């Protein structure tokens, strides 16, 4: 009998897979190990509003998205560290860098589950600037939302699954 993704659900929803993906991407590309914030710690920093958001869609056996969100300052710092360039504001290169970070996070996360790696595709990244929006998904199957300390700032990574086979 053919297995469906539901048979691997325990692996798909494993929170440590997301942490391991963040560690892998930031460790290899930026030489940093961001620290995941505990929920209480994240609540205290709720005023740190995001203004750069990157989204990479999942399609195939799992439909959903990987969303990366950070402040302007954190996005600039990440882009500077990736490229060795200096940025005063969020320009096309910063947006490109944040889109690639999100792309690598999505790829690393789905790569943790063999059934996902082979049968789930990734969209090209979309990057949104601005903070006056809400991310809303009607009745997601599951959602992983983690916040991480990166140098002096914070970024958030969310995996949203709206359906899977």
Partner 1 sequence: MNEVRALIVDDSSVMRKIVERALRQAGLESLVVHEAGSGTEGLDLLRGQQVDLILSDINMPSMDGLEFLRQIRLQNLAQGTPVVMITTESSEEHVRQAIQAGARGYIRKPFTAEQVKERVLPLVSTKS
Shortest Cβ 139–partner 1 spacing (Å): 28
- Contact between 62 and partner 1 by CB under 8 A: the answer reads no
Token pair belonging to 107: 């790829």
| Residues numbered 73-112 forming contacts with partner 1, rule: CB under 8 A | 79, 82-84, 92-93, 96-97, 99-100, 103-104, 106-108, 111
124 lies in the binding site for partner 1 (CB under 8 A): yes
- The answer to whether 9 and 26 are in contact (CB under 8 A) is no
Nearer to partner 1 (CB atom), residue 42 or residue 98: 98
CA-CA distance, 32 to 133, in Å (whole number)? Answer: 29
Specify the residue for token string 């792309």.
103
* Residue 90 backbone dihedrals phi, psi, to 5 degrees: -80, 95
Q: Which of 101, 122, 111 is nearest to 25 (CA)?
A: 101
Span near partner 1 by CB under 8 A; candidates 43-51, 121-129, 135-143, 148-156: 121-129
Alpha carbons 87 and 30: distance in angstroms, whole number: 16
- The answer to whether residue 19 forms part of the interface with partner 1 (CB under 8 A) is no
Closest to partner 1 by CB, 89 or 132: 89
Residue closer to partner 1 (CB basis): 48 or 96? 96
| 22 CB-side CA count, 13 A | 27
Applying CB under 8 A, the span of 3-11, 43-51, 114-122, 146-154 interacting with partner 1 comes to 114-122
Told to check if 29 binds partner 1 by CB under 8 A, we report yes
Residue with tokens 């740190």: 48
Q: How far is the CB of 96 from partner 1 (least distance, A)?
A: 5
């Amino acid at each position: 009998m053919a297995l469906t993704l539901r048979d691997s659900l325990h692996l798909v929803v494993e929170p440590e897979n997301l942490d391991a993906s963040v560690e892998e991407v930031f460790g290899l590309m930026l030489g940093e190990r961001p620290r995941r914030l505990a929920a209480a710690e994240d609540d205290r920093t709720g005023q740190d509003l995001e203004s750069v958001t990157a989204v990479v869609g999942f399609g195939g056996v799992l439909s959903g998205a990987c969303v990366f969100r950070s402040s302007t300052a954190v996005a600039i710092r990440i882009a500077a560290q990736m490229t060795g360039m200096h940025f005063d504001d969020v320009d096309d290169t910063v947006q490109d860098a944040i889109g690639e970070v999100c792309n690598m996070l999505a790829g690393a996360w789905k790569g943790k589950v063999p059934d996902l790696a082979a049968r789930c595709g990734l969209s090209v990244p979309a990057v949104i600037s601005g903070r006056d929006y809400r991310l809303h998904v009607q009745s997601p199957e599951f959602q992983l939302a983690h916040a991480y300390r990166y140098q002096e700032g914070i970024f958030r990574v969310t995996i949203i699954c709206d359906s899977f086979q």
